[in-house]
Amino acid sequence: MDNIIVTPRSLSKGNDPLLNRIKAAGYNLVFPSPGNQPTEAELEEVIGDAVGYIAGVEPISAAVLEKARRLKVISRNGTGIDNIDAEAARKKNITIRKADGANARGVAELAMGLIFAAARNIVSSDRSLKSGTWTREKGFELEGKTLGIIGCGKIGQMVSRFALGFGMDVLAYDAFPNPDFHPSGNFRFEPLRTILENSDIVSLHCPPMPDKRPLIGAAEIAAMKHGAIIVNTARQSLVDEEALREALDSGSLHCYAIDAFDKEPPDDLSLARHERVIVTPHIGGFTEESTRRASEAAIDNLLESLQGV
């Protein structure tokens, strides 16, 4: 029986009934690190004989792919594929598939939750009261405020609709804006600089820059409104964290909320401990509904690539 590697933490404990479809198709399931993100060494140990790979967010390097003798397809149970060395995969004729849109609702709802938490100081109020201190920090309401969306694909569009429902104005930037997306007269596409200068809250929903440099650095933060909020459910590398820390310390930024990290769990939590930072452990797509949709799509894509069904 040909081997299929399964690494997403939502599937790799091996007891999900969805995996029965792969078994029924005649494949053997291999779990290099059940319930945990596998290391490069663990992947290298099992990838040699595998023909398929249902992948999570773990890095899949050229060194790992070099050891893949029979691998035909890597099927992500999410939309991001920047954790995979695409050039190394191309050289070995390995197809990369992704579960487009499967986790959009979960990520979009979390982004809105983080926006509310930041605007109303929910996390800091919780910490303060639990420590025995009754401190009330005045927040602000969303109606009439401007939300800047950077990356207006499926997730960004959904966040836009949510925000419009709360009476916000929405400005969106996308490298390839969809001309058919115009949900309201209070929505419009604008250049990135215009969004930074005019938004009370900026929410990131775009892939990392090709050269991994930050999209939001010191100059971009300086262009933002005093007391603005940045919500990042996309990629840690999109924001220059040193410039961010300085802006939080000075008060020019009110709050930063982040859900996605370059390494998970992150080694450095110093920024996460900042009183003006809200952190969540990559739970955007980690809902019952999103994980099921993503798993179903990943399995569909895997079997389609291997068997054409």
Could you give all domains of the chain from N- to C-terminal order, each with its CATH number?
2-102+288-307 (3.40.50.720), 104-279 (3.40.50.720)
Among residues 205, 254, 276, 282, which one is catalytic? 282
pLDDT in tens, 185-196: 999 999 999 999
> What gap in Å lies between CA 10 and CA 54, rounded to an integer?
11
State residue 38 phi and psi, 5-degree precision: -75, 155
Q: Is 264 a catalytic residue?
A: yes
CA dist 216 → 103, 239, 241 (Å) = 24, 5, 9
In this predicted structure, the answer to whether residue 48 has a pLDDT above a threshold of 90 is yes
Q: Is 235 a catalytic residue?
A: yes
pLDDT band at 171; cut points 50, 70, 90:
very high
> What gap in Å lies between CA 172 and CA 160, rounded to an integer?
8
pLDDT band at 228; cut points 50, 70, 90:
very high
In this predicted structure, the answer to whether residue 122 has a pLDDT above a threshold of 80 is yes
Among residues 66, 264, 296, 304, which one is catalytic? 264
> What gap in Å lies between CA 153 and CA 176, rounded to an integer?
9
State what percent of residues in the chain have pLDDT above 90. 90
pLDDT in tens, 235-290: 999 999 999 999 999 999 999 999 999 888 899 999 999 999 999 999 999 999 99
| Cα dihedral 65/69/72/78 (nearest 10) | -30
Among residues 9, 205, 235, 254, which one is catalytic? 235
> What gap in Å lies between CA 179 and CA 80, rounded to an integer?
24
pLDDT band at 10; cut points 50, 70, 90:
confident
